[in-house]
């Protein structure tokens, strides 16, 4: 069976004035369906560029990108949008929730664009189920301003999952969170990966966060410089149990 993600000699050049700056210089990467891969690298290493291309937000300058065995390197804007909607969920460092909009409606957002014209009741039902799965069943009507950072990120995870994608791309998902909340978020990602077989690609510059993945891919100067399984993988669920009871009021 073809890997979920396969890149062959992936290149990306940016043009800054007259100078061409290479961001990716030939990346070969495979991620099997159901995998949990952490991409680690300093800022400027090209890992964000890789994430944009893997997420079909951007197109490579050269090389090929196969998603579920299909070459998606040269799809047009709208085809990429449709594919993003159905197969990829995004979790961003800054949450990117719509302000003054309830958690429920934030989670429903991708369903507006999935082309199935689900009824409002159906959308509510699906969004509510996901919010319950991330532990926010009692806060569906809260707006982002009424939620803590960790809760906002959980809303974002629910949103990423609402269309039932196979791939979750998490770009520094814990970058704005304290360490306990970070572990909570990683617990959700590990659980989704383990229980639902969701493929997770985690982009981070923190090595300790990367160790929640089963495999670390290290980026430097637009190239993969290291790619190996994590020897002592961290287990967020076990770490949470070892921690004292949460101070955060439910």
Partner 1 sequence: MIAEALSILRIAFRALARNKVRSALTALGVIIGVASVIAMIALGSGARAAIDEQIQSTGTNVVFVSAGSHNRPGAAHGGMGSVQTLTLEDATAIREQVPTVAYLTPVVRGRAQVIAGSQNWNTSIEGADESYLTIRNWPLADGENLSPRDVLLADKVCLLGDTVARTLFPGEDPVGQVLRVKNLPFRVIGVLSPKGQGQWGQDQDDVVVAPYTTIQRKLLGITFIHQIMISATRSDAVERTAVDVTHLLRQRHRTSGPEDDDFSVRTVEEMAETRSQLAQTMSGLLMSVASVSLLVGGIGIMNIMLVSVTERTREIGLRMAVGARTRDILSQFLTEAVSLSVLGGVAGIVLGVAVSAALTRVLGWPTMITAGAILVAFVFAAAVGIFFGYYPARKAADLDPIDALRYE
Site residues for partner 1 per CB under 8 A: 52, 55, 57-58, 77-78, 81-82, 84-86, 90, 92, 96, 98, 100, 109-110, 112-114, 117, 119-120, 159, 163
We find the least distance from the C-beta atom of residue 161 to partner 1, in angstroms, to be: 11
Residue linked to tokens 């309830």: 102
Cα–Cα distance between 74 and 199 in angstroms, integer? 23
Contacts of 79 (CB under 8 A, 6+ apart): none
Which tokens sit at 131? 């919010």
Q: Report the alpha-carbon angle 42-32-48, nearest 5.
A: 25
Q: Which is nearer to partner 1, 110 or 236 (CB)?
A: 110
Question: Rounded to the nearest 5°, which phi and psi values hold at 214?
Answer: -90, -10
Q: Which is nearer to partner 1, 32 or 109 (CB)?
A: 109
Cα–Cα distance between 35 and 198 in angstroms, integer? 8
Q: Which is nearer to partner 1, 116 or 179 (CB)?
A: 116
Residue linked to tokens 């003054």: 100
Cα separations in angstroms, 126 against 89, 122, 132, 208: 15, 6, 10, 33
We find the least distance from the C-beta atom of residue 246 to partner 1, in angstroms, to be: 29
Q: Which is nearer to partner 1, 2 or 112 (CB)?
A: 112
Q: Which is nearer to partner 1, 152 or 163 (CB)?
A: 163
Which tokens sit at 158? 């629910």
We find the least distance from the C-beta atom of residue 114 to partner 1, in angstroms, to be: 7
We find the least distance from the C-beta atom of residue 147 to partner 1, in angstroms, to be: 17
We find the least distance from the C-beta atom of residue 41 to partner 1, in angstroms, to be: 18
Residues in the chain: 250
């Amino acid at each position: 069976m073809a890997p979920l993600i396969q890149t062959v000699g992936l290149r990306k050049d940016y043009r800054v004035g007259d100078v061409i700056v290479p961001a990716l210089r030939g990346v070969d990467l495979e991620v099997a369906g159901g995998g949990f891969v952490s991409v680690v690298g300093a800022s400027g290493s090209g890992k964000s560029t890789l994430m944009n291309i893997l997420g079909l937000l951007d197109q490579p300058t050269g090389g090929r990108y196969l998603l579920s065995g299909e070459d998606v390197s040269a799809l047009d804007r709208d085809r990429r949008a449709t594919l993003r909607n159905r197969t990829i969920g995004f979790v961003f460092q800054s949450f990117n929730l719509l302000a003054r909009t309830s958690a429920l409606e934030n989670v429903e957002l991708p369903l507006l664009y999935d082309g199935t014209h689900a009824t409002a009741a159906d959308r509510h039902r699906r969004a509510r189920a996901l919010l319950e799965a991330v532990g926010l069943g009692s806060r569906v009507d809260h707006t982002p301003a009424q939620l803590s950072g960790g809760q906002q990120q959980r809303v974002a995870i629910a949103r990423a999952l609402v269309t039932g994608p196979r791939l979750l791309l998490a770009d520094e998902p814990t970058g704005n969170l304290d360490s306990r909340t970070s572990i909570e978020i990683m617990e959700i990602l590990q659980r989704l990966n383990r229980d639902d077989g969701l493929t997770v690609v985690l982009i981070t510059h923190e090595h300790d966060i990367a160790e929640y993945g089963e495999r670390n891919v290290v980026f430097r100067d637009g190239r993969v410089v290291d790619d190996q399984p994590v020897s002592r993988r961290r287990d967020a669920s076990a770490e949470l149990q070892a921690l004292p009871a949460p101070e955060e009021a439910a």
